[in-house]
A and B are shown apart, each in its own frame.
Chain A
């Protein structure tokens, strides 16, 4: 069972870069753990710390004005490798929602499989969120999974799509594996007929 998701109201952390790949989210040299925990410390490692390990001041995670459980990111977020560690790192750091206008497929699946909600909004609405957060870092956003809506403080609202199956899983904390295990006999029959 995963943590259940319904509605989240939080400030947001803006990361307007496009094509943020999973090697940036969590560089390969930090993939050596054999558990799921602790990856948050190395989230965006090489953007966050210089080669001596000192925080890079102007990177947003080191900017004390910004905090919250929502990461707002530029287009094509999570491209590149299939490492689920990217979703784990974002979740472990404390984020529960990512908002962008476009995601890589595998990242989106990985996020959904880990209770991290990837919200897709239009480029225009994304620009609005960036503008709002940059202007007022304390501004809050509400992400409502039930009604599939993102609401901004100023009343601006956007609907987002999510496939109904994944929505049910998130709301109830279900895993894909529960369903697959329930049809194990069908799978066994298929396997035997095709070997």
Chain B
């Protein structure tokens, strides 16, 4: 029977399937960070058991860390305690930790791929919903809760029911100024923030194939924002070329052998999905969100819907509440709306290509006076590379600074918070109420769109800023 890539990977990882139980699924790679792991390590301690296989476990500090003066002790006591707890736990249990100051430190979903720890055909989990990022390599990667982190630490396995499959095809070619962030914001705006709940997504089609690995990661990263547990893209030459030569990737003949194996990781002709959706790349424009969930997005030139235009009556109340929070009028346009902050960062868009795109727009220009701009690289390696390429100088000349890596204003756990009532164009993945700081207001957009907003100080259409 023809199978999807998802089924192939899932089936090959079932350790035990027993009547009345979910599948016990083996986990190839487990990533850990300071926020969702302490209680899990406590659980192991209480049971008196070790980490099952430390060589499959990698930790980093990212959520809580400052993005300035990372060499100094963390000022905020609770954050410091959490990072120190991670250090202590990793030491006690023998888990590799890329701590602050380590050349491999960074946002957990950025360092995995960058180090060649993320490979096709793997099952990957982390106590973090954006673990879906790793699906870009053709792996089953999904976020888990802390109880499940404990299970994986203790047994390198997890109990899971198999989700349904959803294929999303993007056919045709993207227009100018349209990048992968726009693809995913477009899809979510079409199917809503809960439209893929219960499904695991496979992205396919010409427009997806044409994307670089970094662009693919942006798309898979936001699968969770439509409710999907994860999303993957079948590996191809682009994938293999990206992996080749990375720190922990297989080398030499072992690599060639792996590539042969990975080539079979594709959905068979005629494989059945529970659901299929198709979109035309030409229909996608630079996108922006206007509300308080990622499904509330539109083309940057569109207007916000009116209450009457909503399909479901019972959504009207939530919609009004959301626009109230954002301080926006139903039916109005966002183009030209002044903004206060621009955040370029997060596991969605803080890789080299993202920073290069931003630099391509701001080179030789200055940021608008009233706008505060934060550029936070996704990892130490990205930071170093950006400096090597001179991007830090381009940013400095434009009036903003390249900081040190971490989650930063994506979730505002450290001091990088957008103040109450202020508007921020952000390359991150969530525009929830208070996500970037209590009562802050977020417009999600691509790095290109964010860069233009930094220059103009307003929500702008990037297409007017680039030549054909």
Please give the residue numbers on chain A whose beta carbons come within 8 Å of chain B beta carbons, in ascending order: 16-19, 21, 23-24, 27-29, 31-36, 46, 51, 74-76, 79-85, 87, 102, 104-106, 109-110, 113-114, 123, 127, 163-165, 168, 175-177, 179-181, 183-184, 186-187, 190-191, 194-195
Would you give the 0/1 interface string for B299-322, flagging 1 where the beta carbon is closer than 8 Å to chain A?
000000000000000110110010
**Is the CB–CB distance between B145 and A106 below 8 Å?**
yes
Query: Restricting to B35-72, which residues have a CB under 8 Å from any CB of A?
Result: 35-36, 38-39, 42-43, 49, 52-53, 55, 63-64
Which residue from chain B places its CB closest to the CB of A168 in the assembled complex?
B20
Known contacts A104-B197, A191-B53; is-contact A180 B157 (Cβ 8 Å):
yes
In Å, the complex CA distance between A105 and B24 comes to 18
- A32 shortest CB reach to chain B, Å: 4
**Is the CB–CB distance between B433 and A46 below 8 Å?**
yes
**Is the CB–CB distance between A177 and B21 below 8 Å?**
no
Task: Pick the residue among B79, B155, B194, B432 that contacts A23 (CB under 8 A).
Answer: B432
Which residue from chain A places its CB closest to the CB of B315 in the assembled complex?
A18
In Å, the complex CA distance between A101 and B432 comes to 21
In Å, the complex CA distance between A179 and B25 comes to 12
Chain B residues with Cβ below 8 Å from A163 are: 22, 161
- B420 shortest CB reach to chain A, Å: 6
Task: Pick the residue among A33, A82, A102, A168 that contacts B128 (CB under 8 A).
Answer: A82
Which residue from chain A places its CB closest to the CB of B38 in the assembled complex?
A34
Please give the residue numbers on chain B whose beta carbons come within 8 Å of chain A beta carbons, in ascending order: 15-16, 20-22, 24, 26, 28, 35-36, 38-39, 42-43, 49, 52-53, 55, 63-64, 78-79, 81-82, 85, 127-129, 131, 143-148, 150-151, 154-159, 161, 163, 193-194, 197-198, 224, 227, 229, 292-293, 314-315, 317-318, 321, 411-413, 420, 430, 432-435, 438-439
In Å, the complex CA distance between A143 and B49 comes to 37
Known contacts A19-B194, A180-B151; is-contact A79 B227 (Cβ 8 Å):
yes
Q: Can you list 29 A-B pairs with a CB-CB distance of less than 8 A?
A: A19-B318, A28-B63, A28-B435, A31-B35, A32-B81, A32-B413, A34-B39, A35-B39, A35-B42, A46-B434, A51-B420, A76-B197, A81-B411, A81-B430, A82-B127, A82-B145, A85-B146, A102-B194, A106-B145, A109-B145, A113-B148, A163-B22, A164-B20, A180-B24, A181-B49, A183-B15, A186-B15, A187-B26, A187-B157
- A168 shortest CB reach to chain B, Å: 8
In Å, the complex CA distance between A184 and B159 comes to 13
Which residue from chain A places its CB closest to the CB of B142 in the assembled complex?
A106
**Is the CB–CB distance between B198 and A180 below 8 Å?**
no
Known contacts A102-B194, A184-B155; is-contact A51 B438 (Cβ 8 Å):
yes
**Is the CB–CB distance between B36 and A82 below 8 Å?**
yes
Which residue from chain B places its CB closest to the CB of A74 in the assembled complex?
B318
**Is the CB–CB distance between A165 and B16 below 8 Å?**
no
Known contacts A34-B85, A82-B144, A114-B147; is-contact A24 B434 (Cβ 8 Å):
yes
**Is the CB–CB distance between B439 and A109 below 8 Å?**
no
In Å, the complex CA distance between A191 and B25 comes to 11
In Å, the complex CA distance between A179 and B157 comes to 11
**Is the CB–CB distance between B78 and A183 below 8 Å?**
no
In Å, the complex CA distance between A179 and B155 comes to 10
In Å, the complex CA distance between A161 and B438 comes to 37
**Is the CB–CB distance between A176 and B229 below 8 Å?**
no
Task: Pick the residue among A34, A87, A104 that contacts B194 (CB under 8 A).
Answer: A104
In Å, the complex CA distance between A32 and B159 comes to 27
- B367 shortest CB reach to chain A, Å: 27
- B442 shortest CB reach to chain A, Å: 11
Task: Pick the residue among A32, A51, A85, A106 that contacts B64 (CB under 8 A).
Answer: A32
**Is the CB–CB distance between B193 and A76 below 8 Å?**
yes
In Å, the complex CA distance between A194 and B25 comes to 13
Task: Pick the residue among B147, B198, B434 that contacts A84 (CB under 8 A).
Answer: B147
- B467 shortest CB reach to chain A, Å: 39
Chain B residues with Cβ below 8 Å from A18 are: 314-315, 317-318
**Is the CB–CB distance between B432 and A32 below 8 Å?**
no
In Å, the complex CA distance between A97 and B172 comes to 47
**Is the CB–CB distance between B432 and A21 below 8 Å?**
yes
